[in-house]
Structure 1
């Protein structure tokens, strides 16, 4: 009994911290979303029947999905390239270059894309000077600019976990498959890729969720022409002071995140069962 009390004595402060710092704000947000003057579901009704808000949510989901897919493909290729490097020094150098992006401010990295993709940026100046185009291409202040920025910022979050998952695979499994006559492509798709698929799915889900709440990058590279949920929330709270609608929008975002997590758990359970079979 004394041992149980000691364990709870160490656990209760952490549990209280989690409840106060994480759970209570979420519960308060949910409560505010039902305090609309139009009734308990008034904010949700306005949110789900307004074409403007529906357009913002669909646009945000589209950008988040595209970012997750692009990061998944590019991240897997880059992680596999780093994993395939023979020299340990080259692998460490490549990982250091990937991790170096975390040391640079998100704000600086976002503004740097204006220098690269702006109307008078590096890319447009090169294309204009060599006669490939007659006028600057609209590479920023649109969905493309936001997508480039989000992929650039979030790609390392896929590369590093994927490389860790690849490094944890027993090389004897692929060697055994080759000894049984399997070609390299078949070894990759039937042995190597299924073992790294859970890490890939986890990375893509993380990228999707983070993109849903991005504020700085859409505001700068979107130029107020690509409204996303985070920018709309900023306007609802700081400009319109419509806390009920902002809380309802946040609650919908939370619900979508929970649904994605459940889908991810189902997919990982199936892939794990398939790999073990």
Structure 2
């Protein structure tokens, strides 16, 4: 009978990864939580508290006079309406522009065309915000390219007032903010299984029907995320409205800047900032409560 000799196996050279060793250090997980939390408190929450406190506190103590002054003055209410109107327009137009581009990018088969479309979508990120805004001043002015082309084609007889108007502000802000909408949509759309389209078309669905029943419902998280991102950024946008807007298109950020740097009325600036913050929080909360039971959007909200 042959006996099998059990040989001692040499000790394994396998070693625990350094990341696993680090993760086992006592208290490290709490440290990884406390460091970002301290960062947020020191650099975000504390400065906001110091600013917002000025809206309800003065040398005499607690007061509501600054907030009451804003809501009792129709000028501030008009500024708030203009801010909301422009923000909604920018969000809707950015969605209408970005959605077809993102859809085309995931449907096109050629890698060359994919790279070209992606590069064109990235161009606004490669150019300075001020350069883009000043370029729109050249394009939108009375003797600018748009007016000259429309007059040359005989479409209009009088020059359009595009600069220092709502139209100019919306055009400039869409140019700046639409990439945030586009990449929110694209990041969601590229995760949609393309075999679903093949299955739908194989079952007799036309391309438009397949789009309505597959792509649109599954892209709702990207639509919501991009819309909230663009809308919230639009509420506090400053540079483009300040350069392209007129006296009748003043957004709330322009009024806050004027009170801080020109009139030095920090209390009214703080009250306007607090109102803008509350409006933003209310909008985000409404989006959460209205859509929290949607199965497709559960990962977004």
TM-score, normalised with respect to structure 2: 0.84
Residue number in structure 2 paired with 1:211: 234
Question: SS of the counterpart of 1:169?
Answer: coil
Q: How big is the shift at 1:106?
A: 0.7
In structure 2, do the counterparts of structure 1 residues 128 and 187 end up closer, same or farther at CA, with 3 Å as the change threshold?
closer
Of 185, 189, 205, the residue aligned with 1:162 is 185
* Rounded Cα–Cα distance in structure 1 between residues aligned with 2:51 and 2:96: 36
Q: Indicate whether 1:79 and 2:91 are aligned.
A: no
Aligned positions, number: 275
Residue number in structure 1 paired with 2:15: none
Of 208, 217, 226, the residue aligned with 1:185 is 208
* Rounded Cα–Cα distance in structure 1 between residues aligned with 2:154 and 2:198: 52
Residue number in structure 1 paired with 2:172: 149
Residue number in structure 2 paired with 1:62: 85
Q: Indicate whether 1:25 and 2:47 are aligned.
A: yes
Residue number in structure 1 paired with 2:118: 95
Map Cα deviations across residues 131-188 of structure 1 (whole Å, 9 max, x no partner). 4433321111110110111111111111122112111111223333333433322221
Native 8 Å contact 2:238 2:253 kept in 1: yes
Segment drifting more, 45-54 vs 121-130: 121-130
In structure 2, do the counterparts of structure 1 residues 165 and 268 end up closer, same or farther at CA, with 3 Å as the change threshold?
farther
Q: How big is the shift at 1:130?
A: 4.5
Whose helix fraction is larger, Structure 1's or Structure 2's? Answer: 1
Segment drifting more, 158-167 vs 141-150: 158-167
Native 8 Å contact 2:292 2:298 kept in 1: no
Map Cα deviations across residues 204-238 of structure 1 (whole Å, 9 max, x no partner). 11111111111111111114441110100011111
In structure 2, do the counterparts of structure 1 residues 25 and 38 end up closer, same or farther at CA, with 3 Å as the change threshold?
closer
Of 294, 298, 301, the residue aligned with 1:271 is 294
Q: How big is the shift at 1:54?
A: 0.3
Residue ranges of structure 2 left out of the alignment (5+ in a row): 1-23
* Rounded Cα–Cα distance in structure 2 between residues aligned with 1:171 and 1:7: 39
Q: Indicate whether 1:235 and 2:249 are aligned.
A: no
Question: SS of the counterpart of 2:136?
Answer: helix
Structure of higher RCO (CA pairs closer than 8 Å, 6+ residues apart): 1
Question: SS of the counterpart of 1:150?
Answer: helix
Residue number in structure 2 paired with 1:110: 133
Residue number in structure 1 paired with 2:19: none
Residue ranges of structure 1 left out of the alignment (5+ in a row): none
Segment drifting more, 245-254 vs 123-132: 123-132
In structure 2, do the counterparts of structure 1 residues 269 and 174 end up closer, same or farther at CA, with 3 Å as the change threshold?
farther
Of 238, 247, 251, the residue aligned with 2:270 is 247
TM-score, normalised with respect to structure 1: 0.91
Native 8 Å contact 2:221 2:296 kept in 1: no
